[in-house]
């Protein structure tokens, strides 16, 4: 089966982390998110992956190259200007001749795609959407369904009171190629506001596959931290990683008086100074230098971060090569753009990028 990955969005809600890195490439446990996604597709017999790119497209192509990945062929298709979710797929229509998958490029899930495909075939569906139940559906596409999964209504980002359904569009679709005929060529067009509502109006069978796997949209700071925490905490059995108390990939140096309370992952070539405490769930990238008497908890540090002494990091995200001066405290949900030097405390929720 072929899969189309929607990887062209600008990742606005993760700015400034996404200033120079597209959202699908943000690291989850020190590996670009897209690697995790491709690994899971390879496990479900996907043979060809079409990555539709726009924002910072070179970054994705340079990382994966042109020789495929995990025995899958990779095709990159560039949109000069974003075509929207369905426009991006219409744009690669000539590559699609059979039932295919579409995935939002920011969904971390262990959904069983093979079972979803069986459901799609059994239902004789033209478009099957993976549906997930959530308590607050306001930030998602909400779907109203009949008992057998037949979709009756699709409302993107509903206003309060607009629907009673708590089943949301999980951003994974199995589609038949002929439904793309109704999408306009070379125009900005969305599944959520265009193609899906049109399918419903014309009564082309659209089904929801309701399931409850681990699922998260990593496109906001709190969700980005959460997915790293959840995997380290192995909240879902299928995510258990071996020896997760300290997941040490290639070797680091920690002073004997430093304390690491798992689950913590430490990348290659890191240095952890005397008296520093690292509390999990925390991710430390490669080439990170941590001075003396620092306290780091619940945070994600990308590669090349350098901390002075007596720094306190609490549930924050520091991008590549950030430096932090002595005694600085960085609070909950702060994001610091790559290469920034943090010289003063950052209060919770404050982000620091080149423009402030
Ligand atoms: N190629 C391409 N071109 N990709 C795009 C474009 C585009 O013009 N616009 C968005 N994307 C990609 C984004 O990179 C992302 O991977 C995916 O499409 C979805 O875009 P988001 O901006 O993350 O949408 P959302 O999270 O607000 O809502 C979507 O996902 C929800 C689930 O997380 C919708 O599909 C909702 O219905 C859904 O519930
Ligand atoms: Mg999203």
Choose among 15, 2, 8: nearest CA to 351: 15
**Residue 217 beta carbon below 6 angstroms from any ligand 1 atom:** yes
Asked if the 2-219 domain carries CATH number 3.90.550.10, the reply is yes
Which ligand gives the minimal distance to the CA of 157? 1
So which residues are the catalytic ones? 157
**Residue 54 beta carbon below 6 angstroms from any ligand 1 atom:** yes
**Residue 305 beta carbon below 6 angstroms from any ligand 1 atom:** no
Please check the confidence at residue 356 and state whether its pLDDT lies above 70. Answer: no
* Contacts for 31 with CB less than 8 Å, ≥ 6 apart: none
Mean pLDDT for all residues in the chain: 93
pLDDT of residue 246: 54
pLDDT tens digit sequence for 67-83:
889 899 999 999 988 99
pLDDT confidence bin for 240, thresholds 50/70/90: very low
pLDDT confidence bin for 243, thresholds 50/70/90: very low
Please check the confidence at residue 241 and state whether its pLDDT lies above 80. Answer: no
Q: Which atom of ligand 1 is nearest to the CA of 168?
A: 39
Q: How many Å lie between the centroid of ligand 1 and the Cα of residue 214?
A: 19
**Residue 156 beta carbon below 6 angstroms from any ligand 1 atom:** yes
pLDDT of residue 249: 54
Q: Which atom of ligand 1 is nearest to the CA of 188?
A: 8
Where in the sequence of the chain do the CATH 2.160.10.10 domains occur? 238-352
Where in the sequence of the chain do the CATH 3.90.550.10 domains occur? 2-219
Asked if the 238-352 domain carries CATH number 1.25.10.10, the reply is no
């Amino acid at each position: 089966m072929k899969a189309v990955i929607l990887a062209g969005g600008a990742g606005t809600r993760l700015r400034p982390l996404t200033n120079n890195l597209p959202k699908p490439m943000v690291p989850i446990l020190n590996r670009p998110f897209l690697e995790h996604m491709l690994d899971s597709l390879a496990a479900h017999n996907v043979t060809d992956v079409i990555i539709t790119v726009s924002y910072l497209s070179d970054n994705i192509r340079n990382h994966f190259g042109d020789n495929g990945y995990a025995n899958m062929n990779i095709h990159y298709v560039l949109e000069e200007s974003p075509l929207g979710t369905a426009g991006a797929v219409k744009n690669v229509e000539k590559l699609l001749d059979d039932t295919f998958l579409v995935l939002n490029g920011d969904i971390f899930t262990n959904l069983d795609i093979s079972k979803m495909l069986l459901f799609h075939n059994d239902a004789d569906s033209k478009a099957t959407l993976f549906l997930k139940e959530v308590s607050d559906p306001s930030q998602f596409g909400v779907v109203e369904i009949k008992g057998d999964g037949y979709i009756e209504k699709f409302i993107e980002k509903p206003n309060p009171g607009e629907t009673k359904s708590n089943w949301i569009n999980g951003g994974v679709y199995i589609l038949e190629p002929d439904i793309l005929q109704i999408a306009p060529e070379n125009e900005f067009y969305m599944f959520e506001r265009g193609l899906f509502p049109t399918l419903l109006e014309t009564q082309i069978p659209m089904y929801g596959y309701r399931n409850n796997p681990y699922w998260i949209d990593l496109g906001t700071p709190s969700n980005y931290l959460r997915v790293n925490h959840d995997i380290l905490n192995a909240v879902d059995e299928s995510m258990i990683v071996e020896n997760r108390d300290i997941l040490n990939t290639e070797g680091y140096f920690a002073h004997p008086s430093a304390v690491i309370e798992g689950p913590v992952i430490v990348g290659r070539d890191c240095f952890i100074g005397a008296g520093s405490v690292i509390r999990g769930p925390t991710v430390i990238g490669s080439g990170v230098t941590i001075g003396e008497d620092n306290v780091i908890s619940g945070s994600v540090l990308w590669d090349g971060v350098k901390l002075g002494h007596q720094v306190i990091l609490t549930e924050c995200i520091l991008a590549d090569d950030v430096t932090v001066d002595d005694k600085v405290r960085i609070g909950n949900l702060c994001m610091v753009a790559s290469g920034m030097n943090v010289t003063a405390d950052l209060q919770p929720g404050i982000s620091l990028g080149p423009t402030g």
